[in-house]
Chains A and B, each alone.
Chain A
Amino acid sequence: MLVVFIIATANFALVHLVPGDAADVLAGESGSATPEYMQMLRQRFGLDKSLPEQYAIYIWNTARLDLGYSFRFSEPVSKLILGRLPATLILMVPAAILSFCIGVGMGVFASRRVGTWADSVVSVAAVLVYAMPVFWVGLMMIVIFSVNLRWLPTNGMETIASGYRGMDYVIDVVQHMIMPVTAMALFYIALYTRMMRASMLEVSTLDFVTTARAKGLNDSRVAYGHVLPNALLPMVTLLGLQVSTLLGGSILIETIFGWPGIGRLAYDSIAGRDVNLLMGILLASSVVVIVTNMVVDLAYGWLDPRISKG
């Protein structure tokens, strides 16, 4: 609770340090203005009040779980965020699951063949993918699969006004998901692969693995029964980090693929100096981070009983 309060205060301070306000931006987009017009805007947006007053209103609203009203978008902040949530989740959750499973699989695969050509291929590929900028990968996918091959739609989340229902609709959305989810997952796959490989190798040098081998267990039993569960711990940390960014979305992926997620909403709110909306998104994201951290801590205890006892 205290953490949330501190975060809310920090958000408020940060957001108000930026030069310019929502009235400037609105007038700027309009292409003309008068002093009365500026004053009317500031009054409507509550920007004519003093900073301490604005801060008090903000904290009071936050305490009541009221994220406030976005004057720029003429809609309540909670409605704006919830409206973008489904799109964000169906992009980020499959990407997280996909990257975790494939990354861990590849890491184990490579670690069990250390020094062979297969290990080299996986490791080099991981470094390459890790080094490729996400936006470049996304654009190349559009050029190859949409413009040249015409297999997949260039962007968006669904065929607009298609009238698809049931299964047709699901298939349509999945077609739109393929490229953004893959582009999003690729980076994390590389990260998990490298981490998992290193973690497996590290754990396999520990004493208890030597003991297991001495007992006469075969390689697979040692690898999957003893090394893998212990090597997973850092993976959970990484997964926790990835899940923490879930709500924030990915501005790059959303921008390239025209995906209506929260990342861009946050970006727009910064550019538009939409203070209420930006603070709402920041607050919601920080709550997700706090909750994820708690879950990760609990998962540690479950994976490694020593931690909860300690």
Chain B
Amino acid sequence: MGINLHLRASLLGVVMATALAGTAFAQEPQRGGVLTTIHFPEPAVLSSGVNSGFVAAYVSTKIYEGLLKYDRKGDPMPVLATSWDVAKDGLTITFHLRDGVKWHDGQDFTADDVKFSLEKVWKVLHSRGRLIFANVQQVDTPDKLTVVLHLSKPSPALMYSLNSFQAQVMPKHIFDDGSDIAKNPHINAPIGTGPWKFNEWQRGSHVVLDRNESYWDTGKPYPDRLVVRYIPDAAARSAALETGEAQLGAQSPIPLSDVKRLASLPDIKVTTEGYEYFANVSTTYFNTARKPFSDIRVRHAFAYATDRQAMLDDIWYGYGKLATGPIASYNTKFYTADVPQYPYDPEKAKALLDEAGYTPDKDGIRMRLTYDVNSPLGAEYVRLGELLKQQFAKIGVELTLRTQDLATFLKRIYTDYDYDFYTAYNGIYTYPILSQWWGKNIQKGVPFSNSTGYANPRVDELIEAAQIESDPAKQVEEFHEIQKIVMEDLPVLVNFELDPVTIYSTKVHDHSVTYDGPFGSFSDVWIER
């Protein structure tokens, strides 16, 4: 009886919660207000076309639009393109564009703008776009509202890369004057088609965007203004959210140690939704080109010696979940859990090191290594280094931690290859390119190329096949096989899937409605008054 009562009580709770959620959902969006958000660090420029990092994207995705956007499941939805058609062989893609769309300066948006953006910006100036659009040979514009892409090989990644985070449509009439696009003053005062119009950027302080009165999606956006503030100090960012001076902060804007405290405040909410598109996996990279990590037994030993649960709980405060392979489980299309696993087992690690000939010396130390702390990514990575030092000490490995700034770090890892191992996170996006495991992508001096020195002919073959595979079933097979081999060879350790947080006021609604969440256009966001 007691159990029954308890059950009924909790059932009632569920029913009431659902009802409450239902009413909250049914609320009509309200017009007006100023939405002040924080993001960090401040971008160098305001166009993703010439700087494809997150910070430039956060602002520019509100001003510029892509041809498509992706819903919470990753399926394409119309934005500047209202319909599209991919030919059976994958070599011709036709887009029909939205009629009546105007640039913020009043000019008409046409197919020429798309052609210009693809040929002059995405394919040339955009770091990922250069790969994604590489097979586009010709762009035809049979009429003002039709764009036809002709490809030399099928490019399945292309249709997953047309949101404004990856490929922003830029106005031809502003940028195509023959001079350097990156030097055009409108790079920092963008003119787009999006729901928000650029008003001002005071460097070191803030960006102000105004509501686009003549946005094609009539009635949107709802607030009058969108402000992005740049507050360099983490504690001051917490204070701004706490006092309500800022109502939303995306991409873990404050130290995770402070998130629980803010989440407990009555007028603040925390969510990890809206980062599925990026599907980041915390990954430890080994330098397999030199000792000791050239020996696969040593890599396996380090996998068994890493207590990933402790890493996730103690440093990332549980914001994430343990990863099984290089493709995050958010990527439901290509993810597989059917890969070799390495549960925490220090004894097994020691046995493997013995087998590889790394026996303890008189001080009990098997090897001395240097771990490069990826401090530019945040304070968590410094603590991670300290944790790993302790964990690996248990199997007789003595770590020296080395800290450096971003430029020095990149040069060490990608140009000099002068490192033992380091940890970073790896964004997979919707259609994995996996170029970090591609043997032909060992390219000196190129950041985020294959730095581990790992090259497996079978993996190379599969990666190359997947990039031009038009049959969805075969794509899945190829990606599954890659994951299995990589998890056996272990050029990297996959630690856990990161869950960045968005912290927002309970008055702010509908901010993360697409696959790319806060990196969407904020056309649906509204403030309760």
User: Which A residues lie at the B interface, using CB under 8 A?
Assistant: 18-21, 24-38, 40, 44, 69, 71-75, 80, 83-84, 87, 135, 139, 142-143, 146-147, 150, 153-157, 160-161, 254-261, 264-265, 268, 271-273
B interface residues, tally (CB under 8 Å) = 63
B407 with A21: CB separation less than 8 A: yes
Contact B232 A258 (CB under 8 A): yes
Q: Within the complex, what minimum Cβ distance (angstroms) separates A193 from chain B?
A: 28
Q: A147 contacts B127, CB within 8 Å?
A: no
Can you list 23 A-B contacts with CB-CB less than 8 angstroms, sorted by A residue number? Answer: A24-B406, A24-B407, A24-B410, A24-B414, A29-B53, A29-B55, A30-B51, A32-B128, A32-B447, A34-B443, A35-B446, A40-B124, A44-B180, A74-B182, A139-B235, A147-B243, A155-B239, A160-B36, A161-B227, A255-B233, A258-B230, A260-B204, A272-B44
Cα A157 to Cα B204 in complex, Å, equals 10
- Which residues of the partner chain B approach A84 to less than 8 Å between Cβ atoms? 203-204
Contact of A31 with B448 at beta-carbon distance under 8 Å, contacts A19-B411, A264-B232 already known? yes
List of B residues within 8 angstroms of A146 by Cβ: 239, 243
- Chain A nearest CB: distance from B450 CB in Å? 12
Which 8 pairs of residues, A with B, have the shortest CB-CB distance?
A20-B407, A260-B204, A29-B53, A30-B127, A260-B205, A30-B52, A27-B447, A258-B231
Say if the beta carbon of B339 comes within 8 Å of chain A.
no
Given contacts A28-B406, A156-B229, A160-B229, 19 further A-B contacts (CB under 8 A): A18-B408, A24-B447, A25-B406, A27-B127, A29-B54, A33-B449, A35-B446, A36-B130, A37-B130, A37-B446, A69-B183, A84-B203, A87-B204, A143-B239, A150-B243, A154-B239, A155-B240, A258-B205, A260-B202
Interchain CB contact under 8 A, B411 and A20? yes
Q: Are B407 and A34 in contact (CB under 8 A)?
A: no
Are B231 and A34 interface neighbours, CB within 8 A?
A: no
Asked if B51 contacts A26 (CB within 8 A), the reply is: yes
Q: Are B239 and A142 in touch, CB under 8 angstroms? A: yes
Q: Is the CB of A83 within 8 A of B407?
A: no
Return chain B residues, CB-CB under 8 Å to A272: 44, 407
Let me know if B204 and A264 touch, CB within 8 A.
Answer: yes
Assess the A32–B127 pair: CB atoms within 8 A.
Answer: yes
Per the bound structure, the CA–CA distance linking A155 and B232 in Å amounts to 10
Q: Are A156 and B405 within 8 A (Cβ)? A: no
A242 to B223, CA, bound (A): 45
- Residues of chain B contacted by A40 (CB below 8 angstroms): 124-125
Contacts of A273 in B (CB 8 A): 407
Contact B406 A258 (CB under 8 A): no
Tell me, yes or no, whether B188 is within 8 Å of chain A by CB: yes
Q: Which of A75, A135, A255, A268 contacts B188 (CB 8 A)?
A: A75
When C-beta atoms are compared, the residue in chain A nearest to B444 turns out to be A35
**Pair A258/B233 contact, Cβ less than 8 Å:** yes
How far does the Cβ of A239 sit from chain B's closest Cβ, in whole Å? Answer: 27
Quick one: which of A73, A87, A155 contacts B45, CB cutoff 8 A?
A73
What is the minimal beta-carbon distance from B231 to any residue of chain A, in angstroms? 4
Please indicate the chain A residues that have their CB under 8 angstroms from the CB of B203 in the complex. 73, 80, 83-84, 260, 265
Contact at B232–A33, with CB atoms within 8 Å? Answer: no
Closest chain A residue, CB of each to CB of B230: A258
A147 nearest in chain B by CB position: B239
- Indicate if B159 sits at the interface (CB-CB under 8 A): no
Q: How many angstroms between the C-alpha atoms of A156 and B124 in the bound complex?
A: 37
Q: How far is the CA of A273 from the CA of B44 in the complex (A)?
A: 12
Q: Chain A contacts of B408 at CB under 8 A?
A: 18-20
Q: Which residues of chain B in 11-27 are interfacial with respect to chain A, using CB atoms and an 8 Å cutoff?
A: none
Alpha-carbon separation in the docked complex, A157 to B44 (Å): 20
Q: How far is the CB of A301 from chain B (nearest CB, A)?
A: 39
CB pair A33 B243 closer than 8 Å: no
Q: List, in ascending order, chain A residues with CB within 8 A of B449's CB.
A: 33
Whole-angstrom distance between the Cβ of A152 and the nearest chain B Cβ: 10
CA gap between A298 and B206 in the complex, in Å: 41
